[in-house]
Each structure stands twice: as C-alpha cells, then as structure tokens.
C-alpha cells in the first residue's frame, strides 16, 4: 500500500499533502493537549510508531506473485487515541520513505492519508461502536478489517484515476498505467481475502496481550498520572525485531510498488506497453540510505534485523527529545 514516487501526478501528490496539512496540525495540537493530561503518551508514541514499523516489515504472500502487509492502524488508535495514532503512523511512514525507500517522498501525503488518517479513524470508530455494544473484541476486529480495506480501496482509486486524468495527446498514461478497473480490484482482492484477516487477528492478539501485560497503556484505560508498565511492550518490540526476517519469506513486490524496470517488464508481459510511462521513467528519483532494508555487505536477514533495531533506537531518541522539551517547558 506504500505508493512509490511518480505513480501519482505532482497535482495529486500536492493535493493530498494539502489535505493532510490541517489534519497533521490538529493531530499535533491534540497530542500536545493529551500529553499535558497523560504524560504516558510520550513513551507510548515511540512504542506505537515502532510497533507499526515492525508490523509492516512482515510481508504476506499474495496469489499472483505479489506481497502485502498489515499496518496496525486500528491497534494504534485504540492504544493512543486516533489523533496520536495519526501522528505516530505519519512519522513511521516518513521514516520509511526517507531511510528505507519504502513509499515515495512526493507521495508521502497520499500514503499518510490512506494509512495514517483513513485507517486509524475508521478502525477506531468501529471499535467504539463495538465497545458501546459490549462487544469490544468484535468491534476491534471489524475496525481493523474495515480500516485496512477502506485504505486499500482509496489507494486503488488514487492509482486508478491517474491514466484517466493525466495522459498525453495520444491517451498514453503519464503515471500509473492501470485504470480503476484494474487498480481497485487488485488492491481490494489482496486485502479483502488475506491481509484484512491478518490485520484483524494481529490487532486482537496484540491488544489482548497489552491489556493483560500493561492495561494502563490502553487509551481508554489510562488515567492521569497512572504509571504505564512498558517492559512487556518493549519485549514484544524486541521479539518482532528479531523475527522480522520472516518477512523475507514472501517473495515478490507488492502490487503497485514496482520500480521502473519491474513495471516495464509487467507491461511488456501483458502486452500493454513496451516501456514504463514517461512520468515514471523520467520522474523524481531518490536513493534511500538503506533502500529496501538492505545494508551493503551484510546478509539480507541480518540487514532486516539491523534496520528494525535502527528504527527502535531512532524512536527511543525521539521520545527522549520530547521528554526533554516537556521537562524544559515545565
């Protein structure tokens, strides 16, 4: 679901950045107010961002030779509240794009809109309905399933609109070459049949684990000045980091996340075109430091673990900086 650069037109990217800007602004204001009320939000922001990053490292095999992954958007919304989840997921997506080349720099607004806004807010709304009906687990599972599928649907629409809106005089697509009739079913099929169920199961299992091990970490359960016991959560993060190479078992690139050469080969195989659209071939190029979670000279599984550990350290420092600023202001 991480849309790469040049699959969306600059107009689309700019529009979605503009849409996300007020959402990010409100998120920051809401989180600042939440931190004043519950200082435990500070470490939980780092934990939530780390958890989302690690979840997205576990690729799932999809029929047709592609892959996909869970996100944890609803889980984060339940742990932190939807506004804090939006901020944590946005930071995670930005780090993935800048450091690992997972998702585009220009497409950051689109990816954030899909995974950091639609997913947690829709999932959280379903969770609240289930909670009010005294079926918390069902609401949580439904929220996780519906949230990730709605995000996939919107991503498919964003991609599928490109050839309709942006093409040359001959009608040749300039960016994503697949229309709505291909992009939407491709995105939805994988998530409706496989990824949505994994997202729901993982969300419920981790929620149950945290509810038993650190119940005060849950957004609704936490109270002012309540100490949050995070040792079990840190153990969960460490375990996921060590197990992250399991994400390499599923081979293939997620649908719509191909590089220029992979896309060109797919188009040629399907006899749709001989080369990738010009916007993709000659568009914005960015080389991430650890592209595709690889570290030069290091075996890929070890590189995967080191990438995970690197992110955990980055978020740990991020939390320390926020805490320092909060103590300084107070």
Question: Which range among 40-44, 101-105, 286-290 shows the weakest confidence by mean pLDDT?
Answer: 40-44
- Residue 252: the pLDDT is 84
Q: Three-state DSSP class for 64?
A: coil
Question: For 82-106, what is the mean pLDDT?
Answer: 96
Task: Give 310-319 pLDDT, tens digit per residue.
Answer: 999 998 888 8
Q: Three-state DSSP class for 66?
A: strand
Distance CA 169, CA 191 (A): 35
What single-letter DSSP state applies at residue 60? E
The backbone torsions φ and ψ at residue 130, rounded to the nearest 5 degrees and listed phi first, read -60, -40
- Residue 225: the pLDDT is 47
Distance CA 89, CA 26 (A): 15
Name the helix (H) or strand (E) containing 58: none
Task: Give 238-279 pLDDT, tens digit per residue.
Answer: 999 999 999 988 888 999 999 999 999 999 998 889 899 999
* CB half-sphere exposure, 211, CA atoms < 13 A: 11
> How is residue 103 written in tokens?
């998702």
Q: Three-state DSSP class for 159?
A: helix
- CATH fold of 10-329 reads Arp2/3 complex 21 kDa subunit ARPC3 (1.10.1760)
The pLDDT-based confidence of 227 (bands split at 50, 70, 90) is low
Distance CA 105, CA 118 (A): 19
| H helix intervals, 196-299 | 196-213, 231-243, 260-269, 278-281
Task: Give 142-174 pLDDT, tens digit per residue.
Answer: 999 999 999 999 999 999 999 999 999 999 999
Distance CA 292, CA 100 (A): 6
**Inter-residue contact 111 to 2 (CB < 8 Å):** yes
The backbone torsions φ and ψ at residue 173, rounded to the nearest 5 degrees and listed phi first, read -60, 145
Q: Three-state DSSP class for 67?
A: strand
* CB half-sphere exposure, 70, CA atoms < 13 A: 24
Question: For 202-213, what is the mean pLDDT?
Answer: 90
**Inter-residue contact 196 to 126 (CB < 8 Å):** no
Name the helix (H) or strand (E) containing 18: helix 10-37
> How is residue 328 written in tokens?
């300084």
Distance CA 292, CA 129 (A): 38
Q: Note the pTM of the prediction, 2 decimals.
A: 0.93
Domain definitions of the chain by residue range: 10-329
- Residue 41: the pLDDT is 83
The pLDDT of residue 88 is above 80: yes
Distance CA 132, CA 127 (A): 9
What Rg do the C-alpha atoms of the chain give, in angstroms? 20
Task: Give 17-74 pLDDT, tens digit per residue.
Answer: 999 999 999 999 999 998 888 877 888 888 899 999 999 999 999 887 789 999 999 9
Distance CA 40, CA 279 (A): 45
Helices (H) and strands (E) in the chain, counts: 14, 2
**Inter-residue contact 141 to 203 (CB < 8 Å):** yes
Percent of the chain with pLDDT over 70: 95
């Amino acid at each position: 679901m991480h849309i790469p650069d040049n699959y969306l037109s600059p107009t689309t990217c700019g529009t979605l950045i503009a849409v996300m800007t007020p959402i990010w602004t409100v998120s920051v204001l809401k989180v600042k107010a939440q931190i004043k009320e519950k200082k435990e939000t500070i470490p939980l922001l780092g934990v939530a961002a780390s958890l989302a990053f690690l979840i997205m490292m576990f690729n799932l095999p999809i029929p047709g030779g592609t892959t996909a992954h869970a996100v944890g958007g609803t889980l984060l919304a339940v742990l932190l509240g939807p506004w804090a989840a939006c901020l944590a997921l946005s930071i995670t997506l930005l780090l993935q794009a800048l450091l690992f080349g997972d998702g585009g720099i220009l497409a950051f607004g689109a990816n954030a809109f899909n995974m950091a806004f639609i997913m947690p807010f829709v999932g959280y709304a379903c969770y609240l309905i289930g909670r009010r009906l005294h079926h918390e687990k069902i609401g949580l599972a439904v929220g996780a399933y519906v949230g990730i599928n709605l995000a996939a649907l919107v991503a498919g629409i964003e991609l599928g609109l490109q050839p309709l809106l942006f093409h040359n005089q001959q009608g040749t697509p300039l960016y994503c070459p697949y229309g709505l009739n291909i992009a939407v079913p491709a995105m939805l099929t994988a998530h409706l049949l496989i990824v949505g169920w994994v997202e729901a199961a993982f969300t419920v299992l981790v929620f149950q684990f945290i509810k038993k091990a650190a119940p005060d970490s849950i957004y609704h359960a936490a109270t002012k000045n309540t100490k949050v016991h995070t040792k079990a959560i840190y153990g969960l993060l460490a375990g996921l980091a060590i197990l992250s190479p399991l994400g390499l078992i599923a081979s293939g690139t997620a649908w719509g996340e191909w590089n220029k050469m992979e896309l060109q080969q797919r188009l040629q195989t399907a006899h749709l075109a001989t080369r990738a659209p010009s916007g993709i071939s000659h568009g914005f190029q960015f080389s991430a430091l650890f592209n595709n979670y690889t570290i030069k000279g290091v075996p890929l599984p070890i590189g995967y673990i080191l990438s995970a550990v690197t992110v955990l350290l980055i978020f740990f420092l991020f939390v320390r900086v926020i805490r320092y600023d909060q103590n300084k202001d107070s």
